[in-house]
């Protein structure tokens, strides 16, 4: 169930970090400063995927491949975005955030509120969080950002 996570991590490896754009996130786990100051944006990789689709080098089936578990989570826990889907252009885009770390489920824990982040932090163990946009119409999905929740430890700079 974590195949998408590995895939996104690979995608992220070639991406330049840049600051998050919290204004698009509608108030839910929205502020990088609320969670961590080390937010990695995957916008460049995302834009490449979208471009490949529009240029015809990738099919809709290739870019709109949300797995059943991700679809389920998007449906029940997704936070609506104001952006339109970059593939089908319908306003069906939602954001889901998964946290991974020691003591959390293998497939990640879904977090949707700032309260959930505070709970992660209160565990006293670091967590890695991945924020994924999912279209509930065509099932486009892509990693949008990742960040760490330090679990109460002093912040470390990892570049
Ligand atoms: Zn769509």
- Show the tokens assigned to 32: 């990088």
pLDDT band at 152 (very low <50, low <70, confident <90, very high): low
* Residue pair 89/116 in contact by the 8 Å Cβ criterion: no
Q: Residue 77 C-alpha to ligand 1 middle, in angstroms?
A: 17
What's the rounded Cα separation, in Å, for the pair 94 and 78?
Answer: 5
pLDDT exceeds 60 at position 22: no
Q: Residue 46 C-alpha to ligand 1 middle, in angstroms?
A: 14
Q: Residue 48 C-alpha to ligand 1 middle, in angstroms?
A: 16
Q: Which of 20-24, 58-62, 87-91, 99-103 has the lowest mean pLDDT?
A: 20-24
Q: Residue 123 C-alpha to ligand 1 middle, in angstroms?
A: 36
* Residue pair 4/67 in contact by the 8 Å Cβ criterion: yes
Q: Residue 37 C-alpha to ligand 1 middle, in angstroms?
A: 30
Q: What mean pLDDT do residues 110-137 have?
A: 91
Exposure of 140 in the CB half-sphere (CA atoms within 13 A): 24
DSSP per residue, 31-54: -HHHH-S--EE-HHHHHHHHHHHH
Global confidence as pTM: 0.73
Q: Residue 72 C-alpha to ligand 1 middle, in angstroms?
A: 16
Q: What mean pLDDT do residues 119-127 have?
A: 89
Q: What mean pLDDT do residues 1-22 have?
A: 43
* Residue pair 129/149 in contact by the 8 Å Cβ criterion: yes
Q: What mean pLDDT do residues 60-76 have?
A: 96
**Residue 114: alpha-carbon gap to chain centroid:** 15
């Amino acid at each position: 169930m974590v195949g998408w996570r590995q895939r996104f991590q690979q995608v992220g490896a070639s991406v330049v970090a840049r600051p998050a754009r919290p204004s698009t996130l509608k108030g839910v786990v929205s502020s990088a400063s609320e969670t961590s100051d080390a937010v990695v944006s995957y916008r460049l990789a995302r834009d490449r995927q979208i471009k490949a689709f529009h240029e015809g080098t990738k099919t809709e089936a290739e870019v709109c491949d949300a797995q059943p578990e991700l679809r389920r989570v998007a449906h029940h826990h997704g936070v609506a975005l104001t952006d339109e889907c970059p593939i089908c252009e319908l306003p069906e885009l939602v954001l889901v955030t998964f946290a991974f770390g020691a003591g959390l489920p293998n497939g990640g824990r879904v977090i949707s509120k700032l309260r959930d982040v505070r709970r992660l932090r209160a565990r006293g163990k670091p967590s890695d969080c991945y924020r994924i946009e999912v279209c509930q119409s065509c099932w486009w999905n892509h990693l949008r950002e990742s960040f760490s929740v330090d679990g109460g430890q002093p912040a470390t700079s990892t570049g």
